[in-house]
Copies of this chain bind each other. A is one copy, B any other.
């Protein structure tokens, strides 16, 4: 408590983003091959350094915007990774952020521009440095929170069917959910609104479209989803 700045050393601080999407019944994340040393050519999360004039959260938002072109992405800090040798080049302390986006919002051309791609969570390769740990922490966090916080909506379009919602939850939890029990539970949640619209894309019969009502959802009302 009597130390002074000058006696201490500084470190680079970076953010790394675990960007989740949902497609064809599976959770995927965006990863790319590193185009810089150290670790050139290894699979890696997308990240960036924290600039002097921005907060760490802002850096994460900026990096997400650079990569996706989307603002106001759902994003949560996961954990900070600070092993001395986690980056072989320099001392870099990295703050991992978990982000959820709707794959359909994502401009496919950006995939090529940034040379990243969607990879199925179950087929995740070995990633650079401690990035696999970051992914695991992020998933653990999602599983922990999914029953107390409305997360799934961020992975879906604004209008979605209950089957889609169920598939998202199943993908996050990694287990099947009973359809009737799931729908029963949804009926008790007041911020999931049924609309008059019918989706005819995914089934012949057609399925009712639902919407997440943000204004009806308050932080203090704990979701049961």
Interface of A with B (CB < 8 Å)? 1-5, 7-13, 32, 34-36, 44, 46-57, 59, 77, 79-84, 89-93, 95, 114-115, 144
Specify how many copies of this chain sit in the oligomer: 2
User: Could you name 30 residue pairs across A and B whose Cβ atoms are closer than 8 Å?
Assistant: A1-B36, A1-B44, A1-B46, A1-B47, A1-B114, A3-B48, A3-B49, A5-B90, A5-B92, A8-B49, A8-B51, A9-B51, A9-B52, A10-B10, A10-B12, A11-B12, A11-B13, A11-B52, A13-B82, A50-B93, A52-B91, A54-B84, A55-B84, A56-B80, A56-B82, A59-B82, A77-B80, A82-B95, A93-B93, A144-B144
Taking a contact as CB atoms closer than 8 A, the residue among B13, B47, B53, B84 that contacts A13 in the complex is B13
**Residues A12 and B1 in contact, CB atoms below 8 Å apart:** no
Determine the residue in chain B with the shortest Cβ distance to A63.
B1
Among A56, A81, A92, find the residue whose CB has the most chain B CB atoms closer than 10 A: A56
Q: Which residues of B contact A53 (CB under 8 A)?
A: 84
Q: Which residues of B contact A12 (CB under 8 A)?
A: 5, 8, 10-11
Write the nearest CB–CB distance from A113 to chain B, whole angstroms: 11
**Residues B1 and A32 in contact, CB atoms below 8 Å apart:** yes
